[in-house]
Structure 1
C-alpha cells in the first residue's frame, strides 16, 4: 500500500526564467512555421545569455523555396517574445540584444524516417512518453506543481498589468504540500524567489508584495501559523534572466509536466512540431490518463507509450492505477487503442495539433490548463471518458 501521510515538494519557474525565455522563443518560432504551413517540420533550440540569443536546429516547409524568406522573420519573433516577457534590462533588452539565427533545412534522413518506407507516417524518433492524472485537484493534476504554477502565473499577471511595478520577470516558486489520507491538506513550506527593482528592497519588502497573491491562489486553510516562508532567502535579486544565468530550451522538463509526481520519458517539448512523439505522444498520454480518471475508473492513472523512429504504431502501452482503480489496468491497456489512434498522424488528428498553439505552453506547465476555443490545450479535454468506460 502506498504511503498516506507525507510531504511532497514541486517547483515552478516563471516565464522570465532564462530557460523559459528560451522555451518561449522556440515555441513562438514553431507557431510561426505552423501558421505558415501546418505541415512544417521544426526542431528549434534557443540559447540565451547576456545580451545575446542564439537559435539553431532543423526546419522545413512543404515548399522549401519559401524557407529562405521566412528565415528573415526569426530575429523579430525572438525580440517580440522577450518584449512580452518584460525584459528591458541594460544587459538583456528586447531592442538591443544580439539575435543569431542558425536554423537550417531538416535532414533528409530524418524526414525519410518520419515518412516511412511504405508512405505511412512513422514516429519522428524512438522514445518513451508518460502521462499522469490524479483526482487530488479539480484539474486532475498533482497539487504541488499545480499551485506552484498558480503562484507564479498570478505574480506575472500583476507585474505585467502594472499593479506591482517593483517586480521583475525572473522568478521561481517551490511548494511543499502535506498529505493526509493520501490527499493534500496544507502547505508546510513556501519558497519564492523573484527578481525585483532595487537593491534597497529587503526580503521582507518582497514578502509584503507577494504574500497576498500567494494567499489568494492557495486553497483556504492550507497556509497556517506553522507554514514556513522563504521569500528571496538570499536577499537581493536584481540581476536576473539571461543576464544572471544562461538559458537553454528544454531544461525544465519536470516543471513542464508533473513536478516529479510521475515519471518523465526524458524528452523536452518546446520547439518541436507535433510529428515529434516527444511532444505529441506525451500530450496523448496525459489525455488518456486524464480521461481514465475523469471516467471514474481510478483515482490516479499513469500511461506509458513507447515508439521507434519510422514506425507508426506504439510498441507498447502500459497503464498503472496504483491500486486505486475500479477497472483492471490490463483492460484499460486493451481499451485505449480501440478509442484512439496512437500513430503520430492519429494523435495529431484527434487532438488537432497542427496549428500555432504552442507558445502559450512554454511557461506554467503543459498540463492542468483549460482547453481553449482555438484548440489550445486540446489534450486537457475529458471528452474520451465515456468511450473509454464503454470499451473496458
Structure 2
C-alpha cells in the first residue's frame, strides 16, 4: 500500500430502496425465529412503486410445514410485519405508502436436498447452509475498530434519519446516500477531501433559501460526525449534486435484498465473500461466519496483536467444519499470523468454528436481525447494547493462548 493515498466509502440510509428490502427480509427472519429458534429462512424482498414482494425458502414450527401449508394467522403476520417496517422508516408517499402498497408473498418450503445437508443426524453434525468464503475485519482507525470512511458515512446518515424522525429536520425524506473520501498518510487518515450527500427532500428544497438551508444543515451534520482536524476549507462538498431529489425510495428505483453488501461490511477496506446477510437465518454461514470473523478480528486488534486484521473462513455446504482459516495482519502484527491462527483454533470458549458452535457462542438464534439491516452490521450498537459479534470478551483468552 502506498504511503499516501485517497480512500472512499459510501453508505445508504434506511430509506434507500435496497435497504428497505433488507429490513423487511430481516424483520421476517426475526418473526420466524421468534416462533421457532431453529427456523430455516432465506427470504428475499423486492420493492418498487407501491409494491412489495417476498420470495424464498423457509421451514419452521408454527410457520409452514414441509408441504407448504401455513400455520394459522402467519400470512397475515408476515404482511403486517412488512407494512410495519415501511411505516417505521417513514414512507407515506403517493408512490410508496406503508398502508396502501400491494403486497405478495411467494415464500415456499425449503428444499429437502438442502435440509438433508444442513440438519444434524445420528451420523453427522449440523452442516453449513451453503458453500462460500467469509471475511471479517477490524482496524484501529476509529474507537469502534472500523474503517473511518465507512464509519463516518454511516453516522452522517444515521444522524440525519434521527433528525427526520424527531422533527428536527422536517424537510428530509427517507431516501439518502453518503460518501466520504479521506486522505491517508502511512495508514492514518489526515484530511477529508470530499463529502457527498444526496438526500430526498420535500418540494422546494432544491433552490433559493430552502436549498441553502438544506446545504447548511448537511454541512453541520458532517461537522458533528467527523473530527474537526479532518475538515478544512479544502474539503469539497457535493450535496444533492444532481439537483432535485423529491422522487425517491422504491418509487424512484426498485430495491432488492442483498445489493448493498459492501455498505453492510467494511466499505471496501476489506474483502467480502460475496454472500449477503439479510434475510438469512444463522445456519447460513454467509451470515454467521461473517459475524464470527468480525468478532475474532476485532478482539485481535483490541488485544494489541495488530492495528489491522483480516480473517477468512471457507465452508462446503453440508460440512460442519471450515475448510480453511486464514489470518492477515497486513504487516501490523506484533506476533505471527500463524500464532494467531493457532490461538483461534485453541480457544475453548469458541467450541470450534462449526455453524452450530458459532450460533451457540454468539447466541444467534434470536430475533435480533432487523436492527442490523441499516447503517452496517459492524461497528455499532443496537439500543445501547453491542451486537454479540461486537463484544470484546475474547481479549483475555487470546492473550493467554498467544502468551
Paired residue for 2:396?
386
In 2, Cα distance between the equivalents of 1:345 and 1:126?
15
In 1, Cα distance between the equivalents of 2:188 and 2:178?
21
In 2, Cα distance between the equivalents of 1:346 and 1:330?
22
Paired residue for 2:238?
230
1:91-240 superposed matches below 5 A: 91-116=95-120, 118-199=123-204, 201-202=206-207, 203-240=211-248
Please give the TM-score of this superposition, normalised by the length of structure 2: 0.94
1:275-294 superposed matches below 5 A: 275-294=283-302
Q: Is the 8 A contact 1:297 1:389 kept in 2?
A: no
Q: Is the 8 A contact 1:372 1:378 kept in 2?
A: no
In 2, Cα distance between the equivalents of 1:169 and 1:262?
29
Q: Is the 8 A contact 1:297 1:326 kept in 2?
A: yes
In 2, Cα distance between the equivalents of 1:258 and 1:200?
32
1:116 shift after superposition: 4.9
Secondary structure of the corresponding residue to residue 327 of structure 1: coil
Q: Is the 8 A contact 2:265 2:377 kept in 1?
A: yes
1:224-263 superposed matches below 5 A: 224-263=232-271
Q: State the superposition RMSD in angstroms.
A: 1.4
Structure 1 unaligned residues grouped into runs of 5+: none
1:246 shift after superposition: 0.3
Paired residue for 1:18?
17
In 2, Cα distance between the equivalents of 1:67 and 1:334?
47
Secondary structure of the corresponding residue to residue 133 of structure 2: strand
Q: Is the 8 A contact 2:40 2:58 kept in 1?
A: yes
Large movers: runs of 4+ above 4 Å: 63-66, 371-374
1:49 shift after superposition: 0.5
Please give the TM-score of this superposition, normalised by the length of structure 1: 0.97
CA deviation map 1:21-42 (0-9, x unaligned)? 0000000000001111111110
Q: Is the 8 A contact 1:371 1:378 kept in 2?
A: no
CA deviation map 1:217-263 (0-9, x unaligned)? 11122110000000000110000000000000000000000000000
In 2, Cα distance between the equivalents of 1:265 and 1:41?
21
Q: Please, which moves more after superposition, 178-187 or 320-329? A: 178-187
Residues 200 and 212 (structure 1), Cα distance of their counterparts in 2 relative to 1, 3 Å cut? closer
CA deviation map 1:336-390 (0-9, x unaligned)? 121122100000000000000000111100000137677x610001111111122
1:347 to 358, 361, 376: 358
Q: Please, which moves more after superposition, 295-304 or 3-12? A: 3-12
1:52 shift after superposition: 0.4
1:39-118 superposed matches below 5 A: 39-62=38-61, 64-65=64-65, 67-69=70-72, 70-116=74-120, 118=123
1:354-369 superposed matches below 5 A: 354-369=365-380
CA deviation map 1:110-129 (0-9, x unaligned)? 11110156241010000000
1:68 shift after superposition: 3.1
In 1, Cα distance between the equivalents of 2:138 and 2:77?
39
Q: Is the 8 A contact 2:205 2:214 kept in 1?
A: no
1:143 shift after superposition: 0.2
In 2, Cα distance between the equivalents of 1:68 and 1:107?
19
In 2, Cα distance between the equivalents of 1:77 and 1:84?
11
Equivalent residues, number:
390
Q: Please, which moves more after superposition, 126-135 or 195-204? A: 195-204
1:314 shift after superposition: 0.5
Structure 2 unaligned residues grouped into runs of 5+: none
Paired residue for 2:387?
377
Q: Please, which moves more after superposition, 364-373 or 247-256? A: 364-373
CA deviation map 1:250-301 (0-9, x unaligned)? 0000000000000000000000000000000000000000011011001110
Q: Is the 8 A contact 1:44 1:58 kept in 2?
A: yes
Paired residue for 1:302?
310
